[in-house]
Structure 1
Amino acid sequence: MATPVSQSDLLDPARARALQVALRLAPCLVTGDDLPVFFHHLYFWEPRPAERLGRDGHPKTGGLIPDLGLPRRMWAGGKITFHRALKVGRSAERRSICEASDVKSGRTGRLGLVTLRHDFYQDGGLCGTERQSLIYREDPRPDAPKPETTPARHDEEHIERFNFDTTLLFRYSALTFNGHRIHYDLDYARDVEGYAGLVVHGPLLAQLLMLMAERRLGKLTAFEFRATSALMHWETAELCQQGSTFWVRGPDGRQCMTATAHIC
């Protein structure tokens, strides 16, 4: 049985306002306000000394996440259930456990599949539960086939476009204390992990979709998403909606993320 890990943090309003600015929103959050959906990723940092980091800048596996012997990490998706809003400016607790881990064979080699569960508490009550799906992969081989892409839908009822740049990726990495080098180290992303450029964070795309879903549909009770193709920092994302279904379309028409929103 996996050992759970618990961590407490103060939900600093200044950090939440900084993310609002990074996302091109008005910095309005103060103590006592509801923390916007998915903003909990700004908190519960786990700083480690350099010798306890992997080559990719992430903490080395072997603790909460088992060491599967696979060097490349990707956030494949997740599901969040919202019970009640966390409050800005007050302490909260995150209780984490690894629910599942497995190694399978895929088209491009061995794949490690990991599911983490995080429960968030404040004032003694459960505020939300998040399950994260992570994938670990082997290094790309020179003769490996290019990743397959799926064409995205074009039947949206609403669309919003969002442009990225290296400054936004740096800010999001800093605010979430995400050391993954694919988001800020171009040489590493291109030469080691085989990407065409810097990779836009999957959680950043999910964050934009969640905020869009609340603007369009109202208060969320749950949100689930799956990343399907990496988006590069120079590419414009098309954030699309049809009913309760949301997706991110790349400039070449490929599907980068799919999501489903659940409302009250």
Structure 2
Amino acid sequence: MKPVHPATETCTDVMDPARARAFQIALGHPADIAEGGPLPPFFHQLYFWTPHAPEHLGRDGHPKVGGLIPDLGLPRRMWAGGRIGFAHPLRAGVPAERRTVVEKAEHKHGRSGPLGFVTLRHEIRQAGSVCLTEWQDLVYRQDPDPDAARPTPPVAPTDETESRELSFSSTLLFRYSALTFNGHRIHYDLDYARGVEGYEGLVVHGPLLAQHLMLMAEELVGPLAQFAFRAESPLMHFETATLCRHGTDLWVRGPDGRGVMTANAVPQL
């Protein structure tokens, strides 16, 4: 495939603190974010909505590719992971601008068939300064072959020094989709998730898992300078996950011992 010329998108947001407090409530946390106060890490996912008219959506509820993200000819979208650099805290109620660039868009061939990889880079500014830089890695796949063997997920480590169990109701998945304006049907449409994309249930958002790991990391290692995460296998809404930490390494373990997500936190000096 020929290299893709960088495409860009810029949008602004007032960073309404009420939306952040609604997310705190959805997570079962105290709603204490005030106007001008710092937002917890990764709460920027609640902002910078880019609504599209129904006719511009794909079958999965996401905006059709071919705009900012090029069409790689593969229908299934997954958030594979990402990394974030935190320069300054984002503040609630302070206008912000996000500039997005497509850094990479390419085809590869894996064990499961053709794959498309897209990397987006987001820079978020407040008061003229870059507060946060995020790289978002997306993977596009073919529809599942019902006769093909399912891939074997990796086994998660068991040497954690801290852990906590977490469950995800369909209500929480719906509320997170609404707060992030994420229309992907695998998170709320059970018939679509099972019948079209081949999952056993509703899929817990990868960013929601990463959010929990980031909050855990900030609590245990202090304010973050960087955070990186990588999805290993999907987690279903009926499964209980274990969030684990050993030093600056964090991970999510499924109820059967499989690896769901890995992460690494770099604290501020």
- Assess same fold via TM > 0.5: yes
Q: Does 1:128 align with 2:132?
A: yes
CA distance in 2, matches of 1:190, 1:142: 11
Cα deviation, residue 151, structure 1: 0.6
Give the structure-1-normalised TM-score.
Answer: 0.99
Cα deviation, residue 84, structure 1: 0.2
Matching residue of 2:253: 249
Runs of 4+ in 1 over 3 A off after TM superposition: none
Task: Give 5+ residue unaligned stretches, structure 2.
Answer: none
CA deviation profile, 1:196-220 (whole Å, cap 9, x unmatched): 0000000000000000000000000
User: Partner letter of residue 173 of structure 1?
Assistant: S
Match of 1:168 among 161, 165, 172: 172
Matching residue of 1:194: 198
Match of 1:74 among 78, 81, 89: 78
Match of 2:52 among 25, 48, 51: 48
User: Partner letter of residue 33 of structure 2?
Assistant: L
Match of 2:227 among 201, 204, 223: 223
Matching residue of 1:234: 238
Q: CA RMSD in A?
A: 0.6
CA distance in 2, matches of 1:41, 1:54: 21
Q: Does 1:138 align with 2:156?
A: no
Match of 2:116 among 108, 112, 119: 112
Task: Give 5+ residue unaligned stretches, structure 1.
Answer: none
Query: Identity over aligned residues, as a percent?
Result: 61
Q: What are the residue-to-residue correspondences of 1:9-24 with 2, within 5 Å?
A: 9-24=13-28
Match of 1:64 among 45, 64, 68: 68
User: Partner letter of residue 57 of structure 1?
Assistant: G
CA distance in 2, matches of 1:139, 1:148: 18
Cα deviation, residue 142, structure 1: 2.0
How many residue pairs end up in the alignment?
A: 264
Cα deviation, residue 4, structure 1: 1.5
CA distance in 2, matches of 1:69, 1:110: 10
Match of 1:94 among 91, 95, 98: 98
Match of 1:203 among 187, 196, 207: 207
SS of aligned partner of 1:128: strand
Give the structure-2-normalised TM-score.
Answer: 0.97
Matching residue of 1:178: 182
Q: Does 1:84 align with 2:53?
A: no
CA distance in 2, matches of 1:165, 1:31: 30
CA distance in 2, matches of 1:215, 1:160: 13
Q: Does 1:2 align with 2:6?
A: yes
CA distance in 1, matches of 2:11, 2:152: 38
CA deviation profile, 1:216-262 (whole Å, cap 9, x unmatched): 00000000000000000011110000000000000000000000000
CA distance in 1, matches of 2:248, 2:114: 34
CA distance in 2, matches of 1:251, 1:176: 27
- Asked whether the equivalents of residues 34 and 85 of structure 1 are also in contact (C-alpha less than 8 Å), the reply is yes
User: Partner letter of residue 178 of structure 2?
Assistant: A
User: Partner letter of residue 138 of structure 2?
Assistant: L
SS of aligned partner of 1:19: helix
CA distance in 1, matches of 2:267, 2:229: 15
Cα deviation, residue 107, structure 1: 1.1
CA distance in 2, matches of 1:148, 1:154: 18
CA distance in 2, matches of 1:245, 1:213: 9
CA distance in 2, matches of 1:3, 1:142: 36
User: Partner letter of residue 194 of structure 1?
Assistant: G
User: Partner letter of residue 40 of structure 2?
Assistant: P
